[in-house]
Amino acid sequence: MAQPLESNEGASPLEFRPMTVADLPEVLAIERASYPTPWSERAFRSELMHNSYGHYLVALYEGKVVGYAGMWIVLDEAHITNIAVHPDYRGRGFGHLILSEMEKRAVEQGCTRMTLEVRPSNHVARRLYQRHGFVARGIRKGYYSDTQEDAIIMWKDRLP
């Protein structure tokens, strides 16, 4: 059973660092456990090696990759491409910490707004995004090719 975060004078129990190709086995295991249609190793490699707009990080807990996130930064906007926490580490607030770190890094890159897409059926993620101040602003019809499920487009207009 997941243990909630313990307060340590505001210190995060997670360490963050840029994702590297060497992280892909752990990242892909989390990706496959988290999404019905996971990104391929080739997609992650391409993002890491060829996308100058892409910014990807891993979250480490006690030295182990337990989560990751990615975003594209274009001008003053950040677009979250993916975010996931290993199933064994969910329920500890790690998703909140990872999203907070992405927001912080977006601000450091000059971003003032952030956007993302989420499945209507992903209630846990939607609650996380709403707690972070994201607001639903639109729908992308049939966005998810695996189920033809729509995507809710969410925006946060003022990053911290």
Q: Determine phi and psi for 91, rounding to 5 degrees.
A: 85, 10
Please answer whether residues 71 and 78 qualify as being in contact, where contact means their C-beta atoms are separated by less than 8 angstroms.
Answer: yes
Q: Tell me the whole-structure pTM to 2 decimals.
A: 0.90
- Is residue 2 in a domain? no
Residues tagged active-site: 117, 129
pLDDT, tens digit (0-9, with 9 covering 90-100), for 72-115: 999 999 999 999 999 999 999 999 999 999 999 999 999 999 99
- Is residue 82 in a domain? yes
pLDDT, tens digit (0-9, with 9 covering 90-100), for 22-35: 999 999 999 999 99
**7 pLDDT more than 70:** no
pLDDT, tens digit (0-9, with 9 covering 90-100), for 49-73: 999 999 999 999 999 999 999 999 9
- Structural domain count of the chain: 1
- Is residue 6 in a domain? no
Domain holding 54, by residue range, is 15-156
Residue located via tokens 């189920």: 147
Angle of the 24-34 helix axis to the 41-50 helix axis, nearest 10: 130
131-14-116 Cα angle (round to 5): 40
- Is residue 32 in a domain? yes
**15 pLDDT more than 60:** yes
- Is residue 22 in a domain? yes
> What is the domain-level CATH number for residue 32?
3.40.630.30
- Is residue 9 in a domain? no
